[in-house]
Copies of this chain bind each other. A is one copy, B any other.
Amino acid sequence: MQRPSGRESNQLRDIRITRQFTRHAEGSVLVEFGDTKVICTASVVPGVPPFLRGQEQGWLTAEYGMLPRSTGTRMGREAARGKQGGRTVEIQRLIGRSLRAAVDLTKLGENTLHIDCDVIQADGGTRTASITGAWVAVADAMAWMKAQGKVKESPLLRAIASVSVGIYQGEPVLDLDYPEDSNADTDMNVVMADDGGIIEIQGTAEAEPFTENEFAAMLKLAKQGIAELNKLQREALAQG
């Protein structure tokens, strides 16, 4: 089996994490998983949704979007159609759930962290790149809150990152790009903490059901990839 990109089966794409990518947000990161490029911002907004008012805690919510020509064929603009598509809704719920596991909401005060992940170029794995990059933006926003005296201690609980794994031409591979993703037998997105704890697993058989052995092999690859991503996140945060 030869991957279209020539990568080893357990090899991530080139990962780049650029902090302070735009200047207004409390955390702003450009994350690149190869040709997949996502702008991830974390905004600290006073107030919480109605269902949390008066409970002395904060909230974190995420939105996801793709620029219309981030893809090979232009997609309709969701704002113009007046509706977010089902895939968008599914992805932004996953991003929000995952990042809530990284933050102690009871230490946020009555503030909401708005995460925005906007794909400017897509080549597979936009949701996993979004989670990985957005976590760095969250870390920056938490540091900003502490520096501003808005929180006494950082609400950050743990580092999390995410990667996709799959079965491509019968073999487990790490970090699928678009040519692999669109032909994979099985696709699985994994979100993990830096201590190996599992935050979210979403595995889908695209054509044939997959076996427990395949599942185990994919999970092993994901663990390794996420450990590498955690390291890159730490390195990015260590700069400047």
User: A158 — nearest CB in chain B belongs to which residue?
Assistant: B209
- Report if A28 contacts B (CB, 8 A): yes
Given contacts A83-B83, A197-B205, A198-B212, 6 further A-B contacts (CB under 8 A): A39-B120, A43-B69, A195-B209, A201-B202, A201-B203, A201-B215
Q: Is the beta-carbon distance between B121 and A68 smaller than 8 angstroms?
A: no
Taking the full assembly, how many copies of this chain does it contain?
6
Q: Which A residues fall within an 8 A CB radius of B?
A: 22-25, 28, 35, 37, 39, 41, 43, 45, 63, 65, 67-72, 74, 77-80, 82-84, 86-90, 92-93, 97, 101, 114, 116, 118, 120-122, 158, 188, 192-193, 195-205, 207-212, 215, 219
Q: Is the beta-carbon distance between A70 and B24 smaller than 8 angstroms?
A: yes
Top 5 nearest A-B pairs (CB, nearest first) are: A197-B209, A78-B79, A41-B69, A43-B74, A25-B69
User: A72 — nearest CB in chain B belongs to which residue?
Assistant: B24
**CB within 8 A of A121: which of B23, B45, B188, B204?**
B23
Q: Is the beta-carbon distance between B204 and A200 smaller than 8 angstroms?
A: yes
